[in-house]
Structure 1
């Protein structure tokens, strides 16, 4: 019986109602016949009852929210979260080591990049901070780059394959670099030759906070799709010297980033030869945070189609589809949408499902899925050409 069980939630709500009353009755009975002391005890009992009521009510609310969003489906996943610096995806978190100092900005102006304040363990590569100005999108934002072991101090990453790494809604790119622990997961795979040395490019996805752009170009607004599909790849090839976009480029993401990753592979296969969506979705998730996107999609059926990954794969399939779609029955945010996607693309080649039991919608789940995901994406990336 896990934390999402209806019985557990009902018990928590029941305790919120019953415990304060029981405390009040016990205090009243034990303090009978004591005059002033009785009144003080009763007052203290009322205060304790109010505090307990609030604590238990909040606990019940937290359990309901956890059930609806699928953060922690098991008690073990909840316990693991206590050791996670940033366990949530869909909740805004403070940037971890992200705010750049005047000295770091000066380094970027002088040599083009600065080492991140938070680095992986020695031998697991190096994180670099860049500030990128996109010509086509008109967007200027941070891009974090991971240089693999053996290339920490190289002037560039000449000829290396590329993995784009895209975070979720409201998760700044600084948390993408540190909370995912990309370096700690990728470096051992490289040392054991399970994957070739590669460069991870982590662009800011949330370029117009608090608005959620859903990786879509808004008429007259932020050009989020152009930023990811055009500007950052062009910058990476020119600045980092990586291999030309194509079969040796891949893109992965989770939650909102999972949608972006699937969309980029389906719509831009000439740039991203493979993709992976970890507990993501496959069409724009329109809500109050997406501004006018709902009305924009209603007025522009062509944009609506281009934003639907299943439609793209059915009607404009890549020459070679290589898409990994990971979800979990325990994840209320992605499971049903992923199943719908599998149904809409049934019979189409190149779509690989990855079902994980008891995976909450958290960085913990995505870290655990990362080795298998990278092995899938980089299987053929070591070959030249």
Structure 2
């Protein structure tokens, strides 16, 4: 049974409840002062508390999608990392392979013409040779005969670190939200490419082209749009692509839109930060390259480079988010450029969590839809 299995969660809760009841039942019998009784009391309390905390941890992991598997939890990530294809052919099956399909959890979702479809894919970058899994949401119109020649705008959707792409579907409900908004006429039908920014797990690359390491920024700026556009009916003109993410993904979304406005016409950061951190999860991102380090600081980049012709959206909360003051400073700085568009969602309160982002996603998708072209 997998780490995110409901059976595992139910069994953990049941085990914790039984241990608690057993502790209450056996406590009078362990009230003596000999070493066996004392050891029994310590053992019961320890095992019961471990079971309770395990249940809470499993519940939190299901709610927020921190880890996708036992291997992920134990630091033994078994998913794809960085693959170098020496033949230059992008793998025997091509640069994008569909490995599974599933319906969208909406009314009538069993039929793709009604609910759309989610495809699990493996992607290999042509120039960076980075290989990574992703989920692609195709709206119902993609499968309807009257739209068979139509192209659609696309948006890259990124998790935080160390989030899972699955959490974008199960926890943040991106496909369901996009479906409902388009159905109500509040946004245009749009393809969503949902994935982790961590394309070389377990390392947090912060969407940086690391000297001698994964060329993550180039993968998201060039390879990913090229591969997806070659496989799906995505608009070919500039302005067809947007990017959105939360936390680390939010920082990546803003940076990619600013550094590569020719690719991303709009970028939205939900609870983003504005400078790439250096910590044990990132390792040495810049290898002494001062220009690379400065470019990863979005406020420095705006001060020392021509303002990019793109549109940005940032979100924060007056109470509960640590980035509130930095976000206000960033908004003022972008407004001062007179060239880069800036919008915001500022909540009165909301923490750095899924519940907050679910409140911001509908408005974000509507905004990014309005920034993109479908041709």
Q: Could you tell me the TM-score, scaled by structure 2's length?
A: 0.72
State the secondary structure of the residue aligned to 1:237. Answer: helix
Moved more, 183-192 or 120-129: 120-129
- Aligned pair in 2 of structure 1 residues 368, 248: CA closer, same or farther (>3 Å)? same
Q: Could you tell me the TM-score, scaled by structure 1's length?
A: 0.70
- 2:260 is the alignment partner of 1:284: no
Candidates 201, 214, 226, aligned match of 2:206: 214
State the secondary structure of the residue aligned to 2:239. Answer: strand
- Aligned pair in 2 of structure 1 residues 229, 43: CA closer, same or farther (>3 Å)? same
- Aligned pair in 2 of structure 1 residues 130, 328: CA closer, same or farther (>3 Å)? same
Candidates 349, 361, 369, aligned match of 1:358: 349
**8 Å contact 2:102–2:119 — kept in the other structure?**
no
Q: How far apart in 2 are the matches of 1:135 and 1:180? A: 30
Give the drift of 1:160.
0.5
Instruction: Quote the RMSD (CA, aligned, Å).
Output: 3.8
Partner of 2:117: 126
- Aligned pair in 2 of structure 1 residues 214, 156: CA closer, same or farther (>3 Å)? farther
**8 Å contact 1:125–1:149 — kept in the other structure?**
yes
Larger Rg: 1 or 2? 1
Partner of 1:115: 100
Candidates 64, 87, 103, aligned match of 1:88: 64
1:223-372 matches, within 5 Å, as 223-244=215-236, 246-293=238-285, 296=287, 299-314=288-303, 315-319=305-309, 321-332=310-321, 334-342=323-331, 344-345=333-334, 347-349=336-338, 350-372=341-363
**8 Å contact 1:172–1:206 — kept in the other structure?**
no
Give the drift of 1:342.
3.8
**8 Å contact 2:104–2:176 — kept in the other structure?**
no
Q: Which runs of 5+ in 1 are unaligned?
A: 1-26, 63-78, 101-107
- Aligned pair in 2 of structure 1 residues 208, 156: CA closer, same or farther (>3 Å)? farther
Partner of 2:18: none
- 2:174 is the alignment partner of 1:198: no
State the secondary structure of the residue aligned to 2:265. Answer: strand
Q: How far apart in 2 are the matches of 1:256 and 1:384? A: 28
Deviations 1:334-385 (A, max 9, x none): 335434534654634422221123322222222221100011111243x655
Deviations 1:148-180 (A, max 9, x none): 123247898841111110111122323333322
- Aligned pair in 2 of structure 1 residues 328, 269: CA closer, same or farther (>3 Å)? same
Q: Which runs of 5+ in 2 are unaligned?
A: 1-26, 73-77, 81-92
Q: How far apart in 2 are the matches of 1:51 and 1:337? A: 48
Number of aligned residues: 318
- Aligned pair in 2 of structure 1 residues 380, 290: CA closer, same or farther (>3 Å)? closer
